[in-house]
Amino acid sequence: MKKGKKIYEGKAKIIYATSDKNLVIQYFKDDATAFNNQKKSTIEGKGVLNNRISEHILSNLSQIGIKNHLIKRINMREQLVKLVEIIPIEFVVRNIATGSLTKRLGIEDGTVLENPLVEYCLKNDKLGDPIISREHILTFNWLNVVQLDWIDNNLKRLNDFLQGMFRGVGIKLVDFKVEFGLTNESGKTEIILADEISPDTCRLWDTITDKKLDKDRFRKDLGDLIPAYSDVAKRLGILHEQSNVSAVNITKLSSVKKKRK
Ligand code: TMP
Ligand code: ASP
């Protein structure tokens, strides 16, 4: 597949055209941003780990029938994915209260929610990704009621699957954000999961110690982001247990998958 020109650059990824008009290449950068781009840094190796972790999760989701844009990982930083028109809404699912929810509503950090809480945010950096209601989505025709109900159902399935997958490797899925896109194959419009699912877009706490294994290590200046993301990759069986993780080593990771016992 021939890599064409850059068609979009976001905060953590770049999208390139390919010789097939329906497929694009998604490149994972090492850039980290938080608080709507107010805090920025480059963390060597982050893109490589997110590429691998997101590939692992999205290919597992395909196997349970949750359609997504991933075709295949091409190399350490790139994936071949379906071209989609991203729906301008960030879908957040929360199992434990933390982050903006606690700040916005004064809920105590760490409160376990009785049921998963879904929140919608408008994907608009200039407006700071404001939280919106179901009624906003329907009023402004960002989605119709059938599409929104379909996504809500899939968010529940997604949360159940991801919670189970992480629980099995000693990690609590605190919350996550996903994006969906519209594809148009042979005249039929379909909604599929797009973007990435990685420690950049999930909050992941160790089950026993509550140690943060996600981008909060950057947001909160906790340090050791690469060891934390590597720990997630190792537990998921993507990285060898004995891998001595450094930025240099990450770029040399073997593609051998090892099943965690
Ligand atoms: P929040 O508590 O900051 O609203 O974040 C909720 C979840 O969404 C958390 O897992 C981090 C993720 N997230 C993103 O992936 N991108 C974003 O731009 C924001 C604000 C949150
Ligand atoms: N990705 C978002 C930003 O840059 C926010 C976040 O993940 O906290 O600004």
With bands split at pLDDT 50, 70 and 90, how would you rate the model's confidence at 245?
A: low
Q: How far is the CA of 185 from the centre of ligand 1 (A)?
A: 31
Fold of 6-84+226-260: Phosphorylase Kinase; domain 1 (3.30.200)
Q: Please state, rounded to an integer, the average pLDDT across all residues of the chain.
A: 93
| pLDDT tens-digit readout, 200-236 | 999 999 999 999 999 999 999 999 999 999 999 999 9
Please state, for a pLDDT cut of 90, what percent of the chain lies above it. Answer: 88
State the pLDDT at residue 240: 79
| pLDDT tens-digit readout, 72-107 | 999 999 999 999 999 999 999 999 999 999 999 999
CA distance 39 to 189: 37
Architecture of domain 88-206: 2-Layer Sandwich (3.30)
Q: 3-class secondary structure for the chain? A: CCEEEEEEECCCEEEEEECCCCEEEEEECCEEEECCCCEEEECCCHHHHHHHHHHHHHHHHHHCCCCECEEEECCCCEEEEECCEECCEEEEEEEECCCHHHHHHCCCCCCEEEEEEEEEEECCHHHCCCEECHHHHHHCCCCCHHHHHHHHHHHHHHHHHHHHHHHCCCEEEEEEEEEEEEEEECCEEEEEEECCCCCCCEEEEECCCCCECCCHHHHCCCCCHHHHHHHHHHHCCCCCCCCCCCHHHHCCCCCCCCCCC
247, pLDDT greater than 90: no
Distances in whole angstroms, Cα of residue 68 to Cα of each of 37, 161, 225: 27, 14, 27
Domain range summary for the chain, segments of one domain joined by +: 6-84+226-260, 88-206
Of 89, 175, 179, 229, the residue with max ligand 1 atoms within 8 A of its CB, to mutate for a pocket test, comes to: 175
Q: How far is the CA of 32 from the centre of ligand 2 (A)?
A: 8
Q: Ligand 2 atom 6: the closest Cα is on which residue?
A: 34
State the pLDDT at residue 158: 98
Instruction: Output the pTM of the full model.
Output: 0.93
| pLDDT tens-digit readout, 167-210 | 999 999 999 999 999 998 888 899 999 999 999 999 999 999 99
Q: How far is the CA of 42 from the centre of ligand 2 (A)?
A: 14
Tell me the average pLDDT across 110-121. Answer: 98
